[in-house]
Chains A and B, each alone.
Chain A
Amino acid sequence: MSKYMLIMRGTDETNAAMMASIDELMATTRRFIEETVKAGVFLAAEGLDEPGKGVVVDFSGETPVVTDGPYGETKELFGGFFLLDVASKEEAVEWAKRVPAVRGSKIEVRRVPGEDEVPQDNGAFVKEGALRESSGRI
């Protein structure tokens, strides 16, 4: 078993199509989430606000530069995700096929490695642990 993230990827056109039928889409999405909850695979899901309301923090230079959207050359934008706990990659893909999505959009299926796959002597891991310790509990 593994966690998989189903990442919604949309373009300006698919986002516009989505907004045009937002009520219906929200209802079907709720039904999809209910299905995953009853199947015991649902962990989390979130949808993002319109890309135009976001900003980009760009690290190409010496210091981070903040710019408003839109996002330059990027055609497909991350619009939201479902995090599922499934038995196999194939099952994650099968659920992805059932996500209510407008024509033209895409869903990227990516595995989330488990805690036991993180190398024990990994520097970042040790740092994160120290942070958890110094900040109290979890």
Chain B
Amino acid sequence: MGTADVEAVWRIESARIVAVLTRFTGDFGLAEDAAQEAVAEALVSWPLAAPADPVGWLMATARRRAIDAIRRRTALRDRYALLAADEEIDAEDIDPDKIDDDLLALMFVSCHPVLSREARVALTLRVVGGLSTEEIARAFLVPVPTVQARITRAKKTIAAAGVPFELPPAGERRERLDAVLSVLYVIFTEGSTATSGHRLLRPDVAYEAIRLARTLAALQPHEPEVHGLLALCELTAARFPARTGQDGSPVLLADQDRRRWDFSAIRRGLAALTKASVRGLGPYGLQAAIAAAHASAPSVEETDWDRIVVLYEALGRVAPSPVVELNRAVAVAMASGPAQGLAIVDELIASDRLPGSHLVPTVRGELLARLGRRPEARAELELAARLCANQRERSVLLRKAAALG
């Protein structure tokens, strides 16, 4: 067995192992450490002699490491006694329903509001997603020690705050689920519009979010917004193959070769959107519905822009934000003409609700260009290029500005 084989088993089993050990010891940090020690040992010993039962091996080893750790903490003799009394955790004996709740609890703990956003993201990817510290560092373009520190600190924070390993009480449920969804969406957007670096898309990062969203949808099948988020991710990812040219430069929606869209991902997204629609769409469901309107249109011209305007208006009511307003401006420009869109952008600028963002001058530049106000358009696009952190996007903006003469 090679490293990749060990990692494959780990990807499938890690969340379950951490969940079982946390339930068993009542200590999330300890469980996570023990599980990490087990996989580190597997990486050394499996290539020499592969175990007959890799899953059982990992669980047994992680459990032994947990016992070792507790043994070192003399104050916790009682827990050790508990562990010793029940020597075997057999994978076969684990109650599947209980495990589902434990996995869900793991997601809620990893996305707990006592943690910083960065910590929630790192912990979720590591504990629920089974990614290594190195993989998370690569995903977010930060140094490995930074990720390591975030995870260590996160575990300490959870212990210090006495966060219980359980499903949130009914009163907090909604808010806590929103926190989980928002962490998954942060991971997805990092993959779908990289905030920094020279690549526009990082599909592997987006994939992790989709995978976690699918897990959450399986565990919480009656939560429409979980399906809404999944639909949004699937429908957005469906456009990935058409979103970059052969040289890696971004291709705008209008110029994308729609034959390159991933039609099976679109079908999955539309199916998830149906499940999201049972009681009126929430913020993720509305964004998914907008993505669906694009996904089912044969071209920009034949897109139902009136419907998209209505969806943005609804989104602006349930989740008001200047970015939504800006997108509404684009949709209005497509449905009713660039002058109407420009009026919305100018209101946004007057209220200074999106300062420093390259998106405002990007859109404003586009609309001015469509209105034939070329010198103003050029100035806006140049401003946008100065504000943009993604190199690929920046060069597109500069090319467009230059084309305006």
| Closest chain B residue to A38, Cβ basis | B218
CB pair B7–A41 under 8 Å, yes or no, is no
CB pair A115–B218 under 8 Å, yes or no, is no
Per the bound structure, the CA–CA distance linking A87 and B210 in Å amounts to 12
Other-chain contact of A94, B12, B207, B297 (Cβ < 8 Å): B12
CB pair B296–A138 under 8 Å, yes or no, is yes
Per the bound structure, the CA–CA distance linking A133 and B259 in Å amounts to 9
CB pair A38–B215 under 8 Å, yes or no, is yes
Interface of chain B: mostly helix, strand, loop or mixed: helix
The answer to the question of B79 belonging to the interface, with a C-beta cut-off of 8 Å to chain A, is: no
The answer to the question of B262 belonging to the interface, with a C-beta cut-off of 8 Å to chain A, is: yes
The answer to the question of B103 belonging to the interface, with a C-beta cut-off of 8 Å to chain A, is: yes
- Pick the interface stretch among A48-56, A73-81, A124-132: A124-132
CB pair A37–B260 under 8 Å, yes or no, is no
Other-chain contact of A40, B203, B212, B266, B298 (Cβ < 8 Å): B212
| Closest chain A residue to B238, Cβ basis | A115
Per the bound structure, the CA–CA distance linking A90 and B6 in Å amounts to 9
CB pair A90–B262 under 8 Å, yes or no, is no
Q: Which of A87-138 contact B (CB under 8 A)?
A: 87-91, 93-95, 114-116, 118, 120, 125-126, 128-129, 132-133, 136-138
Most buried by B among A87, A95, A128, A129: A87
Interface size range of chain B in the complex: 35 or more
The answer to the question of B165 belonging to the interface, with a C-beta cut-off of 8 Å to chain A, is: no
Residues of B within 8 A of A43 (CB): 264, 268
CB pair A125–B214 under 8 Å, yes or no, is no
The answer to the question of B257 belonging to the interface, with a C-beta cut-off of 8 Å to chain A, is: yes
Contact with A along B242-265 (1 / 0, CB 8 A): 100010000000000111111110
A contact residues, total (Cβ < 8 Å): 31
Q: A136-B298, A138-B266 are in contact. Are A87 and B11 (CB under 8 A)?
A: yes
The answer to the question of B178 belonging to the interface, with a C-beta cut-off of 8 Å to chain A, is: no
What's the least CB distance linking B91 to chain A, in Å?
12
Per the bound structure, the CA–CA distance linking A89 and B11 in Å amounts to 12
Per the bound structure, the CA–CA distance linking A44 and B222 in Å amounts to 21
Per the bound structure, the CA–CA distance linking A137 and B100 in Å amounts to 39
The answer to the question of B204 belonging to the interface, with a C-beta cut-off of 8 Å to chain A, is: yes
Other-chain contact of A115, B211, B214, B261 (Cβ < 8 Å): B261
Q: Which residues on B are within 8 Å of A, measured CB to CB? A: 2, 4-5, 7-9, 11-12, 100, 103, 203-204, 207, 210-215, 218-219, 240-242, 246, 257-264, 266-268, 295-298
A-B contact pairs, 11 of them (CB 8 A): A37-B218, A39-B211, A39-B215, A40-B212, A42-B214, A85-B211, A91-B11, A94-B8, A94-B12, A120-B260, A133-B298
Q: Which residues on A are within 8 Å of B, measured CB to CB? A: 1, 37-43, 85, 87-91, 93-95, 114-116, 118, 120, 125-126, 128-129, 132-133, 136-138
